[in-house]
A and B are shown apart, each in its own frame.
Chain A
């Protein structure tokens, strides 16, 4: 259930409206109905018609013949600039294969502000980046008391992003079956032996929801 998704249904027409404060996405089965709706909205509020979906909440939407590509290249590039990592050497994996991060190793950062800010930005990047979901989730767990080893791991994610700026989600038409996959590590946390669960939900071949 999402309160900012509005639906309009008649026997022949369906229309969805997604609202993010003052940004609105409209989609529907009938183009004329969409235009009619936009015109009605214009009589009530001052509305800027931005045309076909192209850039929404820092997400670029590129449509081609087959499908729709969603990516946050601009957002990621800005993040790399603000963290002075734009010139960094790219890495091909967002986290190291060594032992898992822990609460107790390394030295506490004197000022956790930067850590928290960058993690917040990385979390926003995960809207179109399931590949960093696990690494970012791991790093989120040290928000309250980040240490230098965690900061090093953050920089690793940034270096990985540097080499994969244009990666995102690609949605193509196909069947519309829902498939979900999940797995869990067995008491993988070195501090409290909790397990980490991961899942992915696909609509046809399109990944729409995940956690790691």
Chain B
């Protein structure tokens, strides 16, 4: 599962039209490094990054706890994380 849902254009227009009608405040946010916040369900390993190898265990690989940019599951892991947080706040 790698898909991250995106909002449909009609939803954007509908909600903005409603906000105009109701005279609501509309705010805009941007999450920095969003894909790094994702938590991985799968076991994913990477080679030790160049220049940061552990001299005692040069043959070891790193197991990822959190998502990285470029990972196949990064978009989905991020969306999962964010939507869980929103549900925790009482959103549905």
- Taking Cβ atoms with an 8 Å cutoff, the residues of A that contact B are 2-8, 15-29, 31, 34, 37-38, 40-41, 44-57, 59, 61, 67-68, 70, 127, 169, 171-174, 176, 203-204, 206-209
A5-B11, A68-B16, A127-B9 given as contacts; is B78 within 8 A of A22 (CB)?
Answer: yes
Residues 38-78 of chain B: 1 if any A CB is under 8 Å from the residue's CB, otherwise 0?
Answer: 00000000000000000000000000000000000001001
CB–CB B29/A27 < 8 A: no
CB–CB A8/B90 < 8 A: yes
Which among A15, A25, A53 has the highest number of chain B CB atoms within 10 Å? A25
CB–CB B24/A209 < 8 A: no
Q: Once the chains are docked, how many angstroms separate the CA of A24 from the CA of B27?
A: 8
Question: What are the 5 closest A-B residue pairs judged by CB atoms, nearest first?
Answer: A22-B34, A6-B91, A53-B26, A3-B5, A46-B32
CB–CB B20/A172 < 8 A: yes
A25-B27, A41-B85, A51-B28 given as contacts; is B91 within 8 A of A169 (CB)?
Answer: no
CB–CB B28/A53 < 8 A: yes
In-complex Cβ contact of A47 among B26, B31, B89 (8 A): B31
Apart from A41-B29, A47-B31, A67-B20, 12 more pairs, CB < 8 Å: A2-B5, A4-B7, A8-B91, A21-B34, A22-B32, A38-B27, A38-B29, A55-B28, A68-B20, A70-B13, A206-B17, A209-B10
A41 to chain B, nearest CB (A): 7
CB–CB B13/A208 < 8 A: yes
Tell me if A's interface is mostly helix, strand, loop or mixed: strand
A146 to chain B, nearest CB (A): 25
Count of residues in B whose CB is under 8 Å from the partner chain? 44
CB–CB A208/B17 < 8 A: yes
CB–CB A48/B86 < 8 A: no
A40-B89, A203-B14 given as contacts; is B28 within 8 A of A56 (CB)?
Answer: yes
A64 to chain B, nearest CB (A): 11
Q: Once the chains are docked, how many angstroms separate the CA of A22 from the CA of B33?
A: 8
CB–CB A22/B31 < 8 A: yes
CB–CB A2/B29 < 8 A: no
- Residues of chain B with a CB closer than 8 A to A207's CB: 13
In-complex Cβ contact of B27 among A27, A29, A209 (8 A): A27
Is residue B1 contacting chain A, with contact meaning CB distance below 8 A?
no
- Residues of chain A with a CB closer than 8 A to B22's CB: 29
Q: Once the chains are docked, how many angstroms separate the CA of A61 from the CA of B6?
A: 19
Q: Once the chains are docked, how many angstroms separate the CA of A75 from the CA of B30?
A: 19
- Residues of chain B with a CB closer than 8 A to A56's CB: 12, 28
Smallest CB-CB separation from A56: which chain B residue?
Answer: B28
- Residues of chain B with a CB closer than 8 A to A2's CB: 5, 7-8, 11
